[in-house]
Structure 1
Amino acid sequence: MGTKEYSYIEWLSAEEMHSQYRNWFSELVFIKDEELFLNNLIKSFTLQILDSENYEKSKELVSSLLDMEKRIVPLFKKIQLHGNQLQIMIDDIDQLDLEKAYRDEHRSLLHDFKQYTMEYRILKKKLFKLVSGFIKDQKQRTLLK
């Protein structure tokens, strides 16, 4: 006799899903602004990046940031569309198949959102570490002069 695996799936109300949607949307808007800031920060340290022994690592991080910027657009669009379709859950019409599909899509978007934000935070941490190293080097050079 085999063992069964059970997984816990939280049942969210339409209001809770809408609240999550608003939080996702808000956080993605903030991340898009933050990506612009990171790009400007990188541009301001271009010379240090090019002269650095960390050039390959820097190049990889900049490439990863560009990749994250490209990936946020489709995620953003999926989340917007999902928010627009919330009506399915609140229209007082029993459409069990559509409601199940909406919940499944919500669960999938939650996974995609968490994955994206986790990867973004790791990248941001690496970029700040890189730039702070350049700032420290710059301060040391200034002190030695």
Structure 2
Amino acid sequence: MKYQSRDQLQNIAHVSAHPVMDRRQRLERWSKLLERDPNRSLAALAGTEYRPQRERDLMRSEDSPLSVAFEDPVLRGEGLQNDTYGEAKRFFEVSDEQLHEIVCYCHAGERMMASRAAYCVRTAIEGPIFLRVAKAFLGWGKAAYSWVVV
């Protein structure tokens, strides 16, 4: 049996198990998954900005923010194929700079709290100014994002 992605199947069959999430919905779901256990210690990826693109795309780590996303059957059903850097970049439609901010050790050390990763995912959705306003005026992050310096 040959594996085919949802996009490949769309070309030869009508596939409509459920509505497809847009970029924002996928990122929001990922951030909510991370926020379920804000103090969970997650592994960071080492030196994503220094690796050649090919090597970077294959980077992964057990118990990373990427593996949290891949553990979710909904995101896998939407087309998330694995927990590598390259797949996350493709699936969540984020730039190298955005994904670097979410998963690289240079920002958090070898381990990071899930709340930090969630904050960075939300930054990829709205941008940092929105999150500063939300934190200040809407009360986001009084506990979960208390490490954020604004």
TM-score (norm 2): 0.23
Higher helix share: 1
For the pair shown, which has the larger CA radius of gyration, 1 or 2? 1
TM-score (norm 1): 0.24
